A and B are shown apart, each in its own frame.
Chain A
Amino acid sequence: MTIEPIYLTWLNAKGGFDYFLFKAKNAYNISIEGSGETRNNILPLWPDSYSPYADTLQRQTFVVSRNQILLRSQHLDISQVRALSYIKSSVLVQIVYTRNDKRTVKVDKDSFKKYDEVDKLFTLQFTLSYTDEIPSQTV
C-alpha cells in the first residue's frame, strides 16, 4: 500500500465523470523532454577562460522536463478493469486533491493489455504526465 494514494477522475464517453483511488505503490519519474547547451567561446577571455579561474567550457541553455507518475492499480475485478481502461481513451483525466483542487494530467498513449482471460485478478498501470514543466530558466 502506498502512503500517497492518487485519486483520479476522468471524463467518460457518456458525458459523466468516473473516479477511482489508486492505492498501490507508484513510481515517480521525471521526463526530460528536451534540453539545449552551448560551448563557451574561450577566445575572447583567453587565457583566463582556460586557466584555474575558468569555471566551465559548456553552458546549459534550457531544460524541458515534467513530472511523471507511473500509476499502478490495486487488484481489480474484471468489471473494474473494463471501466478503468477507459482512462486511457479519455480526453480529460485529473488528479483530484479536493473538490476544487484538481490537476489535469496526460495519460500515456501506449497500447496496453486490458486483461488476459487466464488471469483471475487484474491490475492496470499507466503513466501520468503533468501538463506543466518543472520550472527552470532559459539562458
Chain B
Amino acid sequence: MAITVVRRPQGHKLSNTQVSAEASDSSGDALFTTDSYHTLTTGDYIYVDSNIQTYNGFKYVEVESLTSFKTRASENSAVTPYKQDADVFYRVSIVEHGFQCVHLPIVYELASDLFPIDEPGQAYTPNTVTSFSDNNGYVQIETSESIADPVELLKIRLIGDGPLAGVYQITDVNSPWSVVIDLVYDADYDFGGYTIVKYYDNYTINVNIYAGLSSGHRWEDEKTISLVATKKFIPDSNNRALFAIDDILRGYVTTVNNLALDTLPNNIDFMVEFYIGYYQSYDDVNEDGELYTLTDDETVDDFIGQAINAKNEFKNQYSGYLSDYVSDGNTLARWLTDFERPLAFVGYFFDLSFLAPENNQDIEVTIIKKLLGDQQATETISIENPGRGVIRVPITPESGYDEYCIQATAIGESGDTLPMVIESLSDWVNISGSDTDWTTGAAPSVVVPGTVGSPKSDKLASDYGFISGVEYSITVDYTRTNPGFYHFYILILDSSNNILHTKDDLIATSGSSTPDSATITFTANGNEAKISVRSGPQVNLSPTSSTTIVINSVSGTYTTPDTEDMVITEEICIGIIDECDNTFSEDLRELEDGSPRLLE
C-alpha cells in the first residue's frame, strides 16, 4: 500500500547535440533505435522531437540495448506506447535542477495503488461470490477467497459490468469469506462475473508542502523551511492526483527591491525552496467498532526545488523551468536581465543578478574593464558562500572605461580529511555462508580450523554510506594466534555482498596473541555499501593449525576530492556611460518642448 511520485517539478537543460533515432513497435511500446551506440543510461532524460506527439517532449529513458531504448514521461510512468514508425530526434539532458518560475505551475503527480482501483486487491487471486443468501432481508455473500480485513462498517466493492457493480457496506461478518452487505436481498441476483476488493472509503492523498530555505543553506535561519500547507486530493479514475503548489509558494516570495537586505548579495526575497511529504488516509474501524480516519506515516520526497520570483515567456523550450539560467560548468547560465548589453551610468547604483546553483560555494565575479575594446583593468568581487539563490552583484561604473565584461566563477575547494563514523563492533554482523561463522560482540572473533583444504571464515560486516568519488582509508586492528600461512582480508562489499575492493594482509609469522593491523585505501565508485573482514588461507597452502582472529577496533578516514574552479555564468558585457559623455546627444534633435525626436 503506497503512494508513489509519478512526476516532480524537475528541470532539465539540454545538450546542443541532436541525435536521430527511429521509433518502432515493441509489443505495443515505442522502441527507439539509433544507428550507433546511444551512450544513454537508464534514468537519463531526453527531449524528443518528432511528428508523433505521443513521442515528443521530455522523457525518462529506459535503456534496452546499446542502440535502443524506451521512454516514459517519468520514472514511475507507463512506457510510451507505440503509435507508428517515425523518425525522431532527441537531445540529452545534461543538467538536472529544481529552479523554476513561481508564477507558473509547479506541478507534482502522485499515484496511489489503493483508490479507486485497489491494485493489490485486484492483482491477488480474483475473489468472487460463490453463493449468496437472504440474511434478514439483506444479501449474505460467500466468497472464494477471504476478504481483506472484513469489519462491520467498512466497505467492499464489486467490480464488474453488471448492475450489481458498486460499493457496499459490510453490516455483519460471519467469517472472512462470509459477510452481510447493505444490499436488499433478491433471489434473482446474478453475481457471476464480479470480483470483490476492499474499498477504501473517504480515501485521501494528503500532501504536506514545506517551504523556506533548506537545511545547509547559509541563510536557512532567515527563512527556515517549515510546513506551510496541507492539500488533500482524491485520486482520479486512474489512481492519480495531479496538482500544482505555486499558489502556496508565491506567498513566500516577496516582490520588493530591498538593497539593505541582511542576506545580500543573496536576495532571499526572490527565492523559496520547497519539497513535499505525502501520506494516505481512509476510513477504518477501531477496536471499539467505531469508524475513524486511519492516517499513514508521512513519506518525505527527497527532491528539493527552488521557486524563483520569475515568469518565463510563452513558447520557450523549458516552460516554467529556469534552465537557461543554471549552469553545470559546461553550459553556462545567463544573467537575469532583459538587456543584451545593459548600460551602467557613472555615479548611479547598478547591479546584475544571476542564479547560484549550489550551497557552500564561494563565488568570484570577475570584471574586465575596457576602453575602446582594450582591457585596462580587472576587478574581482569575492562573494563568500552566498548560498543557493538569486545573487545580486553590485557593480560600480567608473569614468575612464566604456565597457565592463562580467563573469561569475564558483571557486573550487581543497579536499578535507575527516574521520569516518563506523558502527560499533558489537553491531557488526556475520554474513552467514558455507565457512566458519564469526562470534559477534564487542570483540568479534573467529577460529579457522587447521584442516587441509581452504578453510576460511565467513564475512563479518557493517553497513556504511560510502560517497562516490571520495577516498577512504580504513584500518582494522586485530589479534591473531597460531598464524601459520593465513591471510587477513579487509573487504569492501556492495549491498549484495559482492567484493568490490580487497586488502590482503598476509599473516606469515609465527607466534601467538600478536596484535596486528591492516589498512585498505580506495576511492568509492558509488556501489560500495559495507565494510567487511574475513580470514582465509594462503593460496595453495593449507594451514597446519587452527588460527584465532579477534577484531579489536576499526577506524577510518575519508578525504573529499579537490574541486576545481567552475565558471557558472556567461560573460556579459555592459556599456559604461559617463554622465558627461554625449553618446546619445549626437543623435538627438530636441524640439521646443524638449522632447527628443527621430532624426529626419
A binds B: yes
Q: Which of A78-122 contact B (CB under 8 A)?
A: 79-80, 82-83, 86, 91-92, 94, 96, 98-100, 102, 119-122
- Kindly state whether residue A134 has any CB partner on chain B within 8 Å: no
Closest residue on chain A to residue B308 by CB atoms: A15
Interface bits A1-39 vs B (CB < 8 Å: 1, else 0): 110010101011111111111011111000000000000
- Kindly state whether residue B248 has any CB partner on chain A within 8 Å: no
Closest residue on chain B to residue A79 by CB atoms: B340
Q: Which of B370-410 contact A (CB under 8 A)?
A: 390, 392, 394
The answer to whether B596 and A24 touch across the interface, beta carbons within 8 angstroms, is yes
The answer to whether B270 and A83 touch across the interface, beta carbons within 8 angstroms, is no
Taking CB atoms, residues of chain B closer than 8 Å to A119 are 598
The answer to whether A16 and B587 touch across the interface, beta carbons within 8 angstroms, is no
The answer to whether A17 and B257 touch across the interface, beta carbons within 8 angstroms, is yes
Closest residue on chain A to residue B574 by CB atoms: A19
Nearest CB on B from A122, distance (A): 8
- Kindly state whether residue B194 has any CB partner on chain A within 8 Å: no
Q: Do A19 and B350 form a contact, CB below 8 Å, given A92-B255, A94-B257, A121-B598?
A: yes
Give the distance in Å from the alpha carbon of A78 to the alpha carbon of B328 in the complex. Answer: 32
Partner of A17 from B343, B392, B584 at Cβ < 8 Å: B392
Closest residue on chain B to residue A12 by CB atoms: B338
Give the distance in Å from the alpha carbon of A12 to the alpha carbon of B340 in the complex. Answer: 13
Q: Do A72 and B337 form a contact, CB below 8 Å, given A23-B584, A94-B257?
A: no
- Kindly state whether residue B260 has any CB partner on chain A within 8 Å: yes
Taking CB atoms, residues of chain B closer than 8 Å to A123 are 596-598
Taking CB atoms, residues of chain B closer than 8 Å to A66 are none
> Interface SS of chain B: helix, strand, loop or mixed?
loop
Q: Do A21 and B312 form a contact, CB below 8 Å, given A27-B594, A119-B598?
A: no
- Kindly state whether residue A74 has any CB partner on chain B within 8 Å: yes
The answer to whether A16 and B588 touch across the interface, beta carbons within 8 angstroms, is no
Nearest CB on B from A105, distance (A): 12
Nearest CB on A from B354, distance (A): 8
Give the distance in Å from the alpha carbon of A24 to the alpha carbon of B341 in the complex. Answer: 20
Give the distance in Å from the alpha carbon of A82 to the alpha carbon of B593 in the complex. Answer: 26
The answer to whether B309 and A15 touch across the interface, beta carbons within 8 angstroms, is yes
Taking CB atoms, residues of chain B closer than 8 Å to A79 are 339-341
Give the distance in Å from the alpha carbon of A21 to the alpha carbon of B311 in the complex. Answer: 25
Closest residue on chain A to residue B267 by CB atoms: A15
Taking CB atoms, residues of chain A closer than 8 Å to B597 are 123
Nearest CB on B from A27, distance (A): 7
Q: Which of B300-344 contact A (CB under 8 A)?
A: 308-313, 322, 325, 335-344
Closest residue on chain B to residue A93 by CB atoms: B257
The answer to whether B340 and A21 touch across the interface, beta carbons within 8 angstroms, is no
Give the distance in Å from the alpha carbon of A94 to the alpha carbon of B339 in the complex. Answer: 18
Closest residue on chain A to residue B352 by CB atoms: A16
Taking CB atoms, residues of chain A closer than 8 Å to B584 are 23, 74-75
Q: Do A17 and B341 form a contact, CB below 8 Å, given A5-B579, A25-B590?
A: no
The answer to whether A13 and B311 touch across the interface, beta carbons within 8 angstroms, is yes
Nearest CB on A from B346, distance (A): 10
Partner of B348 from A19, A94, A120 at Cβ < 8 Å: A19
Closest residue on chain B to residue A14 by CB atoms: B336
Give the distance in Å from the alpha carbon of A120 to the alpha carbon of B600 in the complex. Answer: 10
The answer to whether A14 and B588 touch across the interface, beta carbons within 8 angstroms, is no
The answer to whether B351 and A17 touch across the interface, beta carbons within 8 angstroms, is yes
- Kindly state whether residue A49 has any CB partner on chain B within 8 Å: no
Taking CB atoms, residues of chain B closer than 8 Å to A67 are none
Give the distance in Å from the alpha carbon of A109 to the alpha carbon of B340 in the complex. Answer: 25
Q: Do A16 and B353 form a contact, CB below 8 Å, given A79-B340, A92-B255?
A: yes
Nearest CB on B from A125, distance (A): 7
Give the distance in Å from the alpha carbon of A121 to the alpha carbon of B599 in the complex. Answer: 8
- Kindly state whether residue B233 has any CB partner on chain A within 8 Å: no
The answer to whether B349 and A16 touch across the interface, beta carbons within 8 angstroms, is no
The answer to whether B345 and A21 touch across the interface, beta carbons within 8 angstroms, is yes
Nearest CB on A from B556, distance (A): 44
The answer to whether A15 and B587 touch across the interface, beta carbons within 8 angstroms, is no
The answer to whether B594 and A25 touch across the interface, beta carbons within 8 angstroms, is yes
Give the distance in Å from the alpha carbon of A17 to the alpha carbon of B270 in the complex. Answer: 11
Q: Which of A79, A83, A122 has the most CB of B within 10 A?
A: A83
Nearest CB on B from A36, distance (A): 33
Taking CB atoms, residues of chain B closer than 8 Å to A1 are 585, 588, 590
Give the distance in Å from the alpha carbon of A94 to the alpha carbon of B348 in the complex. Answer: 14
Give the distance in Å from the alpha carbon of A11 to the alpha carbon of B336 in the complex. Answer: 10
Q: Do A86 and B594 form a contact, CB below 8 Å, given A15-B353, A19-B348?
A: no
The answer to whether B338 and A21 touch across the interface, beta carbons within 8 angstroms, is no
| Given A1-B585, A25-B594, 9 other A-B residues pairs in contact with their CB atoms under 8 A | A14-B336, A16-B337, A19-B350, A21-B348, A24-B588, A24-B590, A24-B596, A25-B595, A79-B339
**Sample of 11 A–B contacts (CB below 8 Å):** A15-B353, A18-B342, A19-B345, A25-B593, A74-B584, A74-B585, A83-B340, A99-B394, A100-B260, A122-B598, A123-B596
Give the 4 A-B residue pairs with the shortest CB-CB distance, closest first. Answer: A25-B594, A16-B336, A16-B353, A74-B584
